[in-house]
Structure 1
Amino acid sequence: KREGALNEMVSASSDVVKLGRVRFGEGQEDMFTILRVSGENLAAKIELTKIRASRLRERVNLHSRSAAISAGVNGEVIA
């Protein structure tokens, strides 16, 4: 749920950055605003990456535990 919300936030903030750059090129926006929204976009991307990495670590741990349990059930030596 949180990952989906962050994904939408990243997409929306990317659009804001693109629009800001266009407006800057037309003289309608200042560089400070572009840098601020770019920083917010980057922060959202970093947070999304952290959540995805955490989810993938959990998946790997689950598979590792499952393999260890299966090995134990089959009488194999677990190191």
Structure 2
Amino acid sequence: MGILFVDVLWVDDSLRGQGKGQKLIQEDVTSACEQGFTMMRLVTFSFQAPDFYNKLGFKKKGKLKNFPKGFSHYYCTNS
């Protein structure tokens, strides 16, 4: 069918490390598959959560260096 784009995923500091973000992404993956989506796409920055998404099976497909200055901007997919 298509690609589900995750625009924003934010978990409050007080809830981090409790599996809340992982649960949200897993629910999105399940829902997307049930609806016929074949891929999920998201963007993240080097100062945000690229390792978190990598642990969940997302792969970096593209990188903008120095965007914003001193950091990188990653395009990731789950396939």
Q: Same fold (TM over 0.5)?
A: no
Instruction: Report which of the two has the higher share of strand.
Output: 2
TM-score (norm 1): 0.31
TM-score (norm 2): 0.31
Computing the radius of gyration from Cα coordinates, the structure with the larger value is 1
